[in-house]
Amino acid sequence: MNSKISRRDFLKLGGAGLVTAAGAIAVAKNITPEKSNHKNHLVQPPTQMDHGEGLPGVGDVDFEKNGFDPTETLYDFDYGTVSTLPNGQTLREYEILVFNKNIEVVPGIEFPAWTYNGRIPGPTLRATEGDRIRITMKNGSNHPHSMHFHGFHPGEMDGVPGTGPGGNVQPDDQFVYEFDAEPFGLHLYHCHVFPLARHIAKGLYGTFIVDPKEGRPPVDKEMVMVMHGIDIDFDDGNDFYAVNGIPFYYQNHPVQIKVGEKIRIYLVNILEFDLLNSFHLHANFFHYYPTGTSLTPAEFTDTIIQGQAQRGILEFTYKYPGLYMFHAHVTEFAELGWNGMFEVTA
């Protein structure tokens, strides 16, 4: 008997089943997963993916057990522990713990993730251009790991095997990455231990923002969105797609903004196993700043495409109240989790 269940079959079942650490999907009974207190806020209940039945998707996961909530991830910027060095330079210190953790990604399915500080994505580290950055990474997992930052730094701080001890931090060991934050822009970090695709796909990535010394023009709200996939059965193909860890989350829990508010989104693509990802905003256009390394936008559009590790800053304002979709403009990605809503109120 063929026991393999497709990702579309899963959606039709409404989320029945459980994935173990070995990655096998067992569909035994119509399991009703424990409901969290977010359930009452769902925009759309699970659907059968039939024509005219509304939005695709499933119910809520157990956020308390997961230990993180994607709504909080949107606005969570870690500026580190701040002090001043004898030369007057600002020092920002961060602590990152790498450890294995099962994360419920859709109801009834747990993904055996590798995490920075117990969440996907890892914490959003933020500094100002010219600050001294000091990150102590402790490896509490059973595999060697590292942190590779996009930006300027000495070779021994690059987090790549063969470049120094920081490129292959063994279990129960630690390493201190230290460098100046430059250039200003939107960057990212991720594990660079091989097999690289597996270390990234398992969840070891996060955002690194370096603000220009003079700052960016003020906005009403800033948000971080990290686009990624989830390979449940470890066949080097994504079964679900998401922003900030949980498929369908912002569809079920629309992001709250007001008419006239200026919104800034730091958008990062770390999708593995697919060549491209995208972002499309409904009923609106946005100014787009690729990599965030210029204060002048490159285009005014409603859709952008990013390859892996590409990133950019989006700025926009809504004129009218309503419920507006944002999603990957690859239809399969949207139907498998990379779909969200802005709820705009007067």
Integer-rounded Cα Rg, in Å, for the chain is 20
The CA angle 48-52-58, to the nearest 5 degrees, is: 35
**Collapsed DSSP state (helix, strand, coil) of residue 156:** helix
Q: How far apart are CA 16 and CA 155, in angstroms?
A: 48
pLDDT in tens, 161-220: 999 999 999 999 999 999 999 999 999 999 999 999 999 999 999 999 999 999 999 999
Q: Which helix (H) or strand (E) holds 133?
A: strand 132-139
pLDDT above 90 coverage of the chain, percent: 83
Amino acid (one-letter) located at 287? H
CATH number, span 221-345: 2.60.40.420
Indicate the domain borders of the chain.
Answer: 65-211, 221-345
Report the pLDDT value the prediction gives residue 146, as an integer from 0 to 100: 98
**CB-based burial of residue 287 (10 Å sphere; 0-12 exposed, 13-18 middle, 19+ buried)?**
middle
pLDDT in tens, 124-163: 999 999 999 999 999 999 999 999 999 999 999 999 999 9
pLDDT in tens, 233-242: 999 999 999 9
Structure confidence at residue 51 as a pLDDT band (50, 70, 90): low
Report the pLDDT value the prediction gives residue 40, as an integer from 0 to 100: 36
pLDDT in tens, 68-99: 999 999 999 999 999 999 999 999 999 999 99
**CATH of region 65-211, choose from 2.40.50.100, 3.40.640.10, 3.40.50.300, 2.60.40.420:** 2.60.40.420
End-to-end CA, the chain: 56
Report the pLDDT value the prediction gives residue 59, as an integer from 0 to 100: 87
Same fold yes or no, 65-211 and 221-345: yes
